[in-house]
Chain A
Amino acid sequence: MARHSKLQKQVLALYRQFLRAGQDKPGFIPRIHDEFRENARIKKTDVMHIEYLYRRGQRQLEQLKDVNTKQLGTFSKTGEKS
């Protein structure tokens, strides 16, 4: 298998940092997992898009590490009228 490129290594490092940071706070891990799986579909050549997401991810990581961020929930719409 081809070695990871520099960008791929950065993304993987970011993923590791996210998982570590989100350990103690409820709700973050599944979302981190989903986001990274979702964005894994981007082609390797679409560097602009990847770098944009990487920068955004770093800002979000800073926020996650902040001691005041407590948990992640979701508001989801149920598909049927009750």
Chain B
Amino acid sequence: MVLWLTLKEKSRSLIHLFLPPSLHNLYAVAVNLHRGKILGVTYTIPPFSESGMVLYNSISEHPPWLRNGPSTDNMASVRAASRLLPKRILSKTKAVPAAAVHGSRNFHFSIYGKKKNAQVSNDISTQYPVVDHEFDAVVVGAGGAGLRAAFGLSEAGFNTACITKLFPTRSHTVAAQGGINAALGNMEEDDWRWHFYDTVKGSDWLGDQDAIHYMTEQAPAAVVELENFGMPFSRTEDGKIYQRAFGGQSLKYGKGGQAHRCCCVADRTGHSLLHTLYGRSLRYDTSYFVEYFALDLLMENGECKGVIALCMEDGSIHRFRAQNTVIATGGYGRTFFSCTSAHTSTGDGNAMVTRAGLPCQDLEFVQFHPTGIYGAGCLITEGCRGEGGILINSEGERFMERYAPNAKDLASRDVVSRSMTIEIREGRGVGPDKDHVYLQLHHLPPQQLATRLPGISETAMIFAGVDVTKEPIPVLPTVHYNMGGVPTNYKGQVITYTDGADKVVPGLYACGEAACASVHGANRLGANSLLDLVVFGRACALTIAEEHKPGEKLSPLKPTAGEESVANLDKLRFANGSLRTSEVRLNMQKTMQAHAAVFRTGSVLKEGCDKMDAIYQTMDDLKTFDRGIVWNTDLVETLELQNLMLNAVQTIHSAEQRKESRGAHAREDFKDRVDEFDYSKPLQGQEKKPFDQHWRKHTMSYVDPKTGKVTLEYRPVIDHSLDEQDCARVPPAIRSY
């Protein structure tokens, strides 16, 4: 870094004290600073050369009194001099006021080194080197879905890049505990059509039935494929994959009792899944760009042409041009104060899509997992209840029997969360503040706990100080999953809804928690998420392989593509407002937790919307402390905060607008589901409500990133399956367990 000091008349006399007579014509001094240490001083004396270049610029050419390096007296004298002199930025013709450098969005792109004139101001102007890469396909995110898509594409012969801000095995998939649902039929006779029915019912008829058909039909093949990759499933006595009971799973279309179809690896399924996929991916020649933070999509004419990312290690910007981009960035649990997600779940993919002007779907549906540890927020898997664990209140009663007589503790997650919240509200909570309930496991044989649930035994001991073989675990509903995300069709292609029809966005795909193919609708069944990852990860790869060929020529891209992202990065890097990133983030999290919780009321939501809009405006007043570019985690956290804010405003505005209770979105003032027919009564003689008067539709939300204004539109649910002969659609009905 070079600091230019121009010497005015009155200061020259002062300088004459320090400098030998030959230099009394000094016009300007450039002090070369590195990390506060003065490395050297270069200076110009008239006449200037054509380009205003310095005449002496190496230490060996300096007079001896300067060459001895920064001794304390030299330093002190030069420091004193710099304090006395006005600091002005020297440019060729006129001085540029410091304010013009900040906040101006004037970036221009050039091939490095081809400068027309060596402008002296280049020394302190900000320059971001941009490396351009070209691939056939780019996958953003290396969790379960991202890895599956990446090596699926490599297998099909595409030149693939996988960009991730975390090392693949550190993605949040690793924390998944429960299992993968698949109708393998190892424990009892099973059919994927029953799984289809359960998933459609679980989604409260907001899921797109063609995507659900695709997922449940592919499920057994997907699990067998994972097993062939080497995933160490738990086994039954005869060596088949062990399947446990899980919430919302039934036999014979809900009439045959509890189904056992969740294939699991003790209670560390996500960990094994991710490590298996990572190991498998090393066999293929995908290029991994680890610890690269994806900033934005490169969009041109409504087509996605690649991604721009920041390399955290050396601060360089990278543009990845590709025919096909797959978003697999995960959810945004960190918008809430208490959640089971990692600190890195910040909804980057959703935000990138929003900034590109595309909609996000169903963001108001946030799943509250019934059993998150009270205080810490860590997850206790539903598998505990599957193995026989029960929820009890302060009276020691198994209260779920009253709320869900058939399924009891294995009812769908939103039903259980609501029941727990009602128990706490009615005063039957446990603990000194009576604000949580207990999950009891000590009635199960300790040997079963040790083999099937070792992970949560340890988690409960570390985070709650509880020995699960003796005491119950304190639990509370905690934010766990986002059903909403980037809208896609069943093939994994991102869609927008214009003029009454779904339109595919060319070049863009999404899978995993970031996507909303809508298999989960208004509520997700446990163990369907890991299935969703592998099935739709593979689906994206297959679709791309179908539509494109490896080595296709890339469409041309403007050389200044990605300029706004770099301008935003620069603005945040030098942000000098009054609020720290952590303060704004905490405000947002507390607001969301208080106003968009398990039970939502109109007035509370409206207040939340206003508060969130105000917090969005405070984003202009951020202050960051680290001005460097290498490993600037302050900058990365601020970028993540921007992404979280976009997700949060869409979530709360969509929730406020949806005036019904469906799945995970439960409203106190609108307790019923509002469909096109009233399904609690016989359909004969009922008139179908028009589209704008019922709520069985997907929310498509857009945000203007500058003002934070949310616009909402609606899209109908797809009610037909892929093959009506093979698997008939499930008509809506009242949802009870």
A18 within 8 A of B: no
Q: Which of B100, B107, B135 contacts A80 (CB 8 A)?
A: B100
Q: A79-B96, A82-B106 are in contact. Are A68 and B113 (CB under 8 A)?
A: no
Q: Are the C-beta atoms of A76 and B135 separated by less than 8 Å? A: no
With A29-B113, A41-B34 in contact, do A68 and B135 touch (Cβ < 8 Å)?
yes
- On whether the beta carbons of A81 and B100 are closer than 8 Å, the reply is yes
CB-defined interface of B116-136 with A at 8 Å, one 1/0 digit per residue? 000101100111111111110
Q: Which of chain B's residues have a CB closer than 8 A to the CB of A78? A: 104, 106-108, 125
Taking a contact as CB atoms under 8 Å apart, the answer to whether A70 and B132 are in contact is: yes
Given contacts A73-B109, A82-B106, contact A68 B161 (CB under 8 A): yes
In the complex the two chains form, what is the Cα distance from A28 to B122 in whole Å? 18
Interface pair A74/B134, CB less than 8 Å apart? no
B166 at the interface (CB under 8 A from A): no
Question: B133–A70 contact, CB under 8 A?
Answer: yes
Asked if A72 contacts B129 (CB within 8 A), the reply is yes
Asked if B109 and A72 make an inter-chain contact with CB atoms under 8 angstroms apart, the answer reads: no
Query: In this assembly, does A69 line the interface, its C-beta being within 8 Å of a C-beta of chain B?
Result: yes
Neighbour of A72 across the interface among B100, B101, B111, CB < 8 A: B111
A20-53 Cβ-contact flags toward B at 8 Å (1 or 0): 0000001111110110000001000000000000
Main secondary structure of the interface of B (DSSP, over half): mixed
Complex interface: chain B residues within 8 A of A74 (CB): 109-112, 127-130
User: Whole-angstrom distance from the CB of B66 to the nearest CB of chain A?
Assistant: 15
CA distance A74 to B315 in the complex (A): 13
Partner of B112, one of A28, A77, A80: A28
Nearest neighbor of A53 in chain B, beta-carbon distance: B314
Residues of chain A lying within 8 A (CB to CB) of residue B161: 68
Cβ of B300 under 8 Å from chain A: no
Total A-B Cβ pairs within 8 A? 107
Q: Which residues of B contact A30 (CB under 8 A)?
A: 112-114
Are B110 and A79 in contact (CB-based, < 8 A)?
A: no
Q: Are A72 and B131 in contact (CB under 8 A)?
A: yes
Q: Which residues of B contact A82 (CB under 8 A)?
A: 106
Task: Name the residue among A30, A56, A78, A82 with the largest chain B CB count within 10 angstroms.
Answer: A78
A61 to B133, CA, bound (A): 14
Cα separation A56 to B119 with both chains bound (whole Å): 30
Given A31-B129, A69-B132, A72-B132, residue A80 in contact with residue B113 (CB < 8 A): no
A residues less than 8 Å from B89 (CB atoms): 79
Q: Report the separation of the CA atoms of residues A78 and B110 in the bound assembly, to the nearest whole angstrom.
A: 12
Q: Which residue of A lies closest to B103 (CB)?
A: A81
Do A75 and B100 form a contact, CB below 8 Å, given A41-B34, A66-B287, A68-B135? no
Interchain CB contact (< 8 A) of A75 among B39, B109, B121, B287: B109
Q: Which of A34, A59, A69 contacts B133 (CB 8 A)?
A: A69
Which residue on A lies nearest to B32, using beta carbons?
A41
Is A60 close to B, CB under 8 A?
Answer: yes
User: Which residue of chain A has the shortest Cβ distance to B320 in the bound complex?
Assistant: A68
| A71, CB-defined interface residue at 8 Å | yes
B134 touches A70 (CB 8 A): yes
Most chain B Cβ neighbours within 10 Å, of A56, A75, A77, A78: A75
Q: Does the CB pair A75–B135 fall under 8 Å? A: no
Chain A residues within 8 Å of B132, by CB: 69-73
Residues of A within 8 A of B125 (CB): 76-79
- A41-B39, A72-B132 in contact; A77/B113 too (CB < 8 A)? no
Whole-angstrom distance between the Cβ of A5 and the nearest chain B Cβ:
20
State the CA gap A73–B557 with chains docked (Å).
Answer: 14
Q: How far is the CA of A78 from the CA of B113 in the complex (A)?
A: 15
Whether A77 contacts B133 in the complex (CB less than 8 A), given A31-B112, A72-B112, comes out as no
Range of interface residues on B (Cβ < 8 Å): 35 or more
Q: A80 to nearest B CB, angstroms? A: 6
Q: Given contacts A73-B112, A73-B130, A74-B109, are A79 and B313 in contact (CB under 8 A)?
A: no
B250 part of interface (Cβ distance < 8 Å): no
State in angstroms the CA–CA spacing of A73 and B114 once bound together. Answer: 10
CA–CA, A41 to B111, complex, Å?
Answer: 26
B159 in the interface (beta carbon within 8 A): yes
Shortest CB-to-CB span from B121 to chain A, Å, is 4
Residues of A within 8 A of B131 (CB): 63, 69, 71-72
CB pair B109 A77 closer than 8 Å: no
Say yes or no for B685: interface residue by CB 8 A criterion: no
Give Cα A76–Cα B124 distance, bound, in whole angstroms: 11
A60 to B161, CA, bound (A): 16
Q: Nearest Cβ in chain B — how far from A66, in angstroms?
A: 7
In the complex, whether B566 has a CB less than 8 A from a CB of chain A is yes
In this complex, the member of B104, B119, B563 whose beta carbon has the largest number of chain A beta carbons within 10 angstroms is B104
From residue A1, how far is it (CB to closest CB) to chain B in Å? 13
Per-residue A-contact encoding for B269-288, CB less than 8 Å = 1, 0 else: 00000000000000000010
For the complex, is B570 an interface residue (Cβ under 8 Å from A)? Answer: yes
Check B39 against A76 for contact (C-beta < 8 Å). no
The interface residues of chain B lying within 8 Å CB-to-CB of A27 are 111-114
A16 to chain B, nearest CB (A): 19
Q: For B570, what are the chain A residues with a Cβ–Cβ distance below 8 Å?
A: 77
Chain B 409-438 near chain A by CB (<8 Å), digits 1 or 0? 000000000000000000000000000000
| Cα separation A18 to B313 with both chains bound (whole Å) | 19
Chain A residue at smallest Cβ distance from B135 = A68
Smallest Cβ-Cβ distance to B562: which chain A residue? A75
Q: How far is the CA of A30 from the CA of B113 in the complex (A)?
A: 5
> CB < 8 Å: which of B101, B111, B130 contacts A26?
B111
Asked if residues B34 and A72 are in contact (CB atoms below 8 Å), the reply is no
Residue of B nearest to A66 (CB): B287
The yes or no answer to B36 lying at the interface (CB within 8 A) is no
Is the Cβ of B96 less than 8 Å from the Cβ of A73? Answer: no
| Contacting pair B112 A79 (CB below 8 A) | no
Q: Indicate if B559 sits at the interface (CB-CB under 8 A).
A: yes
Of the candidates A41, A63, A74, the one having the most CB atoms from chain B within 10 angstroms of its own CB is A74
One of B34, B39, B106, B287 near A81 (C-beta < 8 A): B106
B76 to chain A, nearest CB (A): 21
Query: B91 in the interface, Cβ–Cβ < 8 Å?
Result: yes
Task: Name the residue on A nearest B119 (C-beta).
Answer: A79
Contacting residues, chain B, for A60 (C-beta < 8 A): 314
Report A46 CB to chain B, min CB distance, Å: 11
Residue of A nearest to B136 (CB): A68
- B295 close to A (CB within 8 Å): no
25 A-B pairs in the complex with CB atoms less than 8 angstroms apart: A27-B114, A30-B113, A30-B114, A31-B112, A31-B129, A34-B113, A56-B314, A68-B133, A68-B134, A68-B287, A69-B133, A70-B132, A70-B133, A70-B134, A71-B131, A72-B131, A74-B109, A74-B127, A75-B108, A75-B566, A76-B108, A77-B101, A79-B96, A79-B100, A81-B104
4 tightest A-B CB contacts, nearest first: A30-B113, A27-B112, A27-B111, A76-B127
Known: A69-B131, A80-B100. 13 other contacts (CB 8 A): A28-B112, A30-B113, A34-B113, A56-B314, A68-B161, A71-B131, A73-B111, A74-B110, A77-B126, A78-B104, A79-B89, A79-B101, A80-B96
